[in-house]
Amino acid sequence: MNTELLKKHIESYKNNLKKDPEKHNNDLNERKERINFYQSWTKEKISSMTEDDLYSYISKLWAMLIWGNKKYVVDKMLQNNGFSKLKNELADLVWGPKPLIYRWDSFRKNIKGFGPAMISEILCHVHPDECMVWNRRAYVALNYLGVKYLPRYDYQLTGKKYKELSDETQKIAEAMKQAGIFDVNLLFADYFMWDELQVEDNLTEIYAKTKAVKEMPSVEITNDETSDFIHDEIRDKLSDIGTWLGFTCSIEKKVADGSKVDTVWESTVGNMGKIIYVFEVQTKGSIDSLIVNLLKALNNPAVQGVVAVSESSQLEKIRKHAQQVPNLNSRIKYWDYKKVLEVHEALEMVNESINSLGLVPQGF
C-alpha cells in the first residue's frame, strides 16, 4: 500500500471534515444507527426471524440499492434456499464460533443469491473492528492505493482473501487514528474510501487495467471447488441481468422432462403464453451432457432459444459438437462468461445510479 498517498488523502479528508462538520455528524450518526441495528440481531434473534424481519434486515443494505424491487430479491432468496436454512446459515455467518475464513466460505458455498458485497456489509455492520465492506468502490480505492492481487471476480473472494482485504483496510483505519481522527473502525474507513479514493471510478479504465492479469482461468485447469464458485457466480449474474432487463428469472429450474437448467429468463406476452430463454453454464462436466440438456429444454415449445455460457476455448469446443446436432445448431447461442461479468457490472452501475435518484422512496 502506498502510505504516502494514503496520508495525503487523510489530510484532505480531515480538512473536508472541518469545512463540513454537519456532513461528518450525519455520517457518524448513520454509522452508529447501522451498527446498532445489525448488532441487535443476536444469533437467537436471527434464528427466530419472520419473513418480514428478513426483508427488513436485507433491504437496508447498501448492496440492495441496485434493486428497485427489493421484495422480489428477498423472495428469490427464500425460494432458492429455504427460509429455515437461510436463517441458520446467516446466524452462523454472523455469530458462529468458527474463524471468519471458515464462516465466509461455508456461507458462500451453502447459500445462493448473496454476493460478497452483501455478505461483507453485514459482517462489517456487526463486527466493524475486524470486517470491511467489499464492493466495487472498495476495489477502486485499494487499487488506487497500490494494494496488489485484488480479486476482480466474486469467485476469487474466498474467506482467506476477505480476511486479507480486511487486514489491508485495517491499515487505513490505523493511519486515520494516527492522524488524529477519532472513533475509527473499518466502517468509518469505508466512508473515507467513498469520499476520498474514488479516483478511477470508470468501468472501462478498470477493465483495461486489469484485463491482462485478471482473466478468468480456463475451465480445464480449475479444480472442482473453483469450478463450482465460477459456475454459481455466472449462473446468479445471468439471473440478475435478466431481472434488470425485465424478465422473470429463475435458477436451477426444470423446463422439460429430464432438463434442469442453470438460469431461465421468462416473459409472458399478454394472453398468448410464455417466452423462455435458457442458459447453461459449463465449467466442468462433459459437453455431451450439456448438449443433451439443451436439446431436452428445446422440447418445451415456449423455449425460444438456448445459450451455452463458458470461456472462449470451451465455447469453441461446444460449437463444434453442436454443429453435428441439426436440431440444436440453428438455435444455440454462445456467450463468453467474461462478457457476462462485464455486462453485469455495467448494468449494476446503471441501476445503482438510477436508484440513487430516490425516485422510489427508500427507508433506512
Q: Which residues pair with 335 in a beta bridge?
A: 309
Cell of 255: 423446463
Q: What is the pLDDT of residue 345?
A: 86
Q: How far apart, in whole angstroms, are the C-alpha atoms of residue 325 and residue 292? A: 10
Q: How far apart, in whole angstroms, are the C-alpha atoms of residue 295 and residue 274? A: 19
Mean pLDDT score across all residues of the chain:
87
Mean pLDDT throughout 322-342?
88
Give, in degrees to the nearest 5, the angle at Cα 113 between 349 and 219: 85
Highest mean predicted confidence (pLDDT) among 110-119, 163-172, 180-189: 163-172
Q: What is the pLDDT of residue 30?
A: 92
Contact 92, 63 (CB under 8 A): no
Where does residue 269 rank: exposed (0-12), middle (13-18), buried (19+ CB within 10 A)?
exposed
Give the confidence band of 329 by pLDDT, cuts at 50, 70, 90. Answer: confident
Least-confidence region, from 29-43, 100-114, 188-202: 188-202
Domain ranges of the chain: 3-217, 224-345
Phi and psi torsions of 94, nearest 5° = -80, -40
What one-letter code names the amino acid at 120? Answer: S
Q: What is the pLDDT of residue 228?
A: 77
Q: What is the pLDDT of residue 238?
A: 94
| Strands laid side by side in the 332-336 sheet | 248-256, 259-269, 273-281, 303-310, 332-336
Give the confidence band of 90 by pLDDT, cuts at 50, 70, 90. Answer: very high
Q: How far apart, in whole angstroms, are the C-alpha atoms of residue 315 and residue 132? A: 37
Question: H or E segment at 263?
Answer: strand 259-269
Q: How far apart, in whole angstroms, are the C-alpha atoms of residue 64 and residue 77? A: 13
pTM of the prediction? 0.79
Q: Identify the CA nearest to 74 among candidates 96, 95, 49.
A: 49
For 198-250, what is each residue's pLDDT tens digit? 875 444 454 444 444 445 455 444 566 677 778 888 999 999 999 999 899 98
CATH architecture of the domain formed by 224-345: 3-Layer(aba) Sandwich (3.40)
Instruction: Note the residue count of the chain.
Output: 364
Q: Identify the CA nearest to 27 among candidates 12, 10, 13.
A: 13
Q: How far apart, in whole angstroms, are the C-alpha atoms of residue 221 and residue 233? A: 18
For 120-131, what is each residue's pLDDT tens digit? 999 999 999 999
Calculate what percentage of the chain has a pLDDT beyond 70: 90
Contact 294, 278 (CB under 8 A): yes
**What string of H, E and C letters represents the secondary structure of 57-91?**
HHHCCHHHHHCCCHHHHHHHHHHHHCHHHHHHHHH
Instruction: Please tell me whether residue 135 adopts helix, strand or coil conformation.
Output: coil
Give the confidence band of 50 by pLDDT, cuts at 50, 70, 90. Answer: very high
Contact 116, 162 (CB under 8 A): yes
